[in-house]
Structure 1
Amino acid sequence: MSGLLSFFDLSDERGVLRTSIAVTFVISSLGIGFGLASGSFSIVFDGVYALIDGGMSLLSLVVVNLITSYALAGHLSRKLRERFSFGLWHLEPMVLGLNGALLISAALYALVTAVGSLLRGGRELEFGAALIYAVVTVMICSAIALVEWRANRTIKSEFIRLDVRGWIMSTGITAALLVAFLIGWAVQGTSWQWISPYIDPAVLAVVCALIIPLPIATVRRALADIFLVTPADMKAHLDAVAAAFVEKHGFVSYRAYAARVGRSKVIELYFIVPADAPARTIGEWDMLRDEMGDLVGDEGPDRWLTIVFTGDPEWAE
């Protein structure tokens, strides 16, 4: 029992992701099963959407394990460390970008399908089974979103943050389905019953139109990380501390290069030293590096910091 609790430990990033994956596959199975039983393509889409999200969460868990193992030298094979000597942080934005792109693609496909169904006169469905699915799923999705959000206040993981957003989206999607199915169930046997075939494709089209833009911000940031775009706030901070460092120690100038790659910060600082500056020992240069490292901040396994002192500006270009 203790082993199971450790496997789904909500104080650890990997434990939270494992919990999310397990719940996601349960929701996916319910969605596909109830969708086929009730004849609702919107429920089937909900299940397929959850299946894609669960698959990407599983891939995210693999990446988190690799990144964590790299930070702990003894937990990664020597061959893998030699092949990826610059670390494995670049895998994180790749997975996040792929996740967002797949979710957008699935929603676009479902939107086109829903519009086509509306033009063909809609489809009949069994509202009883649909309502049972919607109620159960809303309760599960909202509960797991709250649990992960509370856990991530301490963990502060980009993967978990995206996963929480996914659960909130799933809750919203299913809540919209629940409202639509209630309306469809209420109009049965009335003069408004003619609208019931249109309810399923109409709500699917609306939901897809609303969720398509949501992963765009994640994809944009992932692409920025992949293409090593320098974050403006990081560059401004480096410029401020490096300029003060140059003035304090009488150096000529500096060059600062920075990029964010997933959870990592890759920083290179080059300080141009006067050609006639007095000689310093290796220990003294290292003390200057330690001082600059403290000014840069965020010391830890996810910071890659290189500090170079040279009298030739060409080495800094």
Structure 2
Amino acid sequence: MDLERKTLVVSAIIALLLAMWGIAMGVYTESGAIMLDGVFNLLSSVMAFIGIRIAYLTSQNYNERFPMGYFAFEPLMVMVKGISILVLVAFALSANLQTMLAGGREPQIGMMLVYVVPAVAGCLLAWYVCLRSNQKQASNLLLAEQQGWLINSVISGAIGVALIIVLLIQDSSIGWIARYVDQILVIVFSLVFLKDPYLLVKNGFKELLLSAPDDAHTKPFLAALNEQPLVDGFSIADAMVMKTGRRFWVTLELECQQSQLALSDLVQQRKQLRALANQFYENNYTEIVFVEPRALSEDTAS
């Protein structure tokens, strides 16, 4: 089992443990914020287990059913995870707004603080594991896990900070706020973190549509390509880069400036450009297409 799958297994197990802890404590304390945290962990656990299967599939060879491989499953899963988080946030907002308008709920401060410490520790541990693994083996799946754990760490930590503030003010003239602190936390967290699942959906959808990747993925390679000395008789006509999950698809069109070229020159030029692509993209498929000069093709067409 490679590093990516090992990390996803660890992430899934931690998420499942925290989900059981969060949902149990959420039911016991009747806290919407803790319940939201627990359900978010349950979602993370399910998606991590699915990610393990996808990581295995992407390591397999092509077949007749999937001639381009299984790489599109990665952005598909990232997009599904983003949509799931958005749906979860929508339900949380709806439920807590109703509770808030009904007069709030008296929180069990002590038990909620008991929940926070192991929750934050578990989230930070999972975030660090995913961060280290993603640095060693870049992966969309690990990046999505890393972002999810960071969000969860902040949510869990903020619950603790807010509850400490409530302890300090509950006997003061503004102590009535304590009845609404749980709903306020959920609403604020939901609104603050809408951006991250939106970006997951957006980026996953772009990759499924074979949209051009961000400039950070293409500019360094294209700059190096323009400076790359070519074998005599060839020039770059066009260059296209697409990204699906961890796989980069590079297509290079080369104009043949001479009517006849040796086969050895074609092979040498292909090897040279594929070696250049390998320097920038660890997982890539580079296709070299040799075309006749445009001027010649236009004359032939006319």
TM range (shorter): 0.7 to 0.9
What's 1:135 paired with?
117
Contact 2:249 2:285 in 1 (8 A): yes
What's 1:271 paired with?
254
CA distance in 2, matches of 1:243, 1:186: 63
Q: 1:236 to 1:192 in 2, by over 3 A?
A: closer
| TM-score normalised by structure 1 residue count | 0.83
What's 1:63 paired with?
54
What's 1:45 paired with?
36
CA distance in 2, matches of 1:257, 1:54: 37
What's 2:95 paired with?
113
CA distance in 2, matches of 1:12, 1:116: 45
What's 1:200 paired with?
182
Alignment RMSD (CA, Å): 2.6
What's 2:154 paired with?
172
Contact 1:39 1:124 in 2 (8 A): no
CA distance in 1, matches of 2:122, 2:35: 17
Q: Cα deviations across residues 242-291 of structure 1 (Å, max 9, x unaligned)?
A: 555686523365222221111111112222224x523423x442222101
CA distance in 2, matches of 1:164, 1:245: 36
What's 1:230 paired with?
212
CA distance in 2, matches of 1:179, 1:14: 34
What's 1:91 paired with?
73
The equivalences for 1:11-22 within 5 A come to 12-22=3-13
Greater mean alpha carbon deviation, residues 49-58 or residues 107-116: 107-116
Cα distance, 1:219 vs structure 2: 2.5
The share of aligned pairs that are identical, in percent, is: 23
1:144 equivalent in alignment to 2:126: yes
Contact 1:265 1:303 in 2 (8 A): yes
1:311 equivalent in alignment to 2:292: yes
Q: Cα deviations across residues 153-197 of structure 1 (Å, max 9, x unaligned)?
A: 222323222212211111110111112222334445555442221
Aligned length: 294
CA distance in 1, matches of 2:217, 2:125: 36
Structure 1: 5+ residue stretches without partners = 1-6, 71-79
| TM-score normalised by structure 2 residue count | 0.87
Contact 2:86 2:194 in 1 (8 A): yes
1:154 equivalent in alignment to 2:136: yes
Q: 1:113 to 1:187 in 2, by over 3 A?
A: same
Structure 2: 5+ residue stretches without partners = 298-302
Cα distance, 1:36 vs structure 2: 0.6
What's 2:234 paired with?
251
Greater mean alpha carbon deviation, residues 305-314 or residues 13-22: 305-314
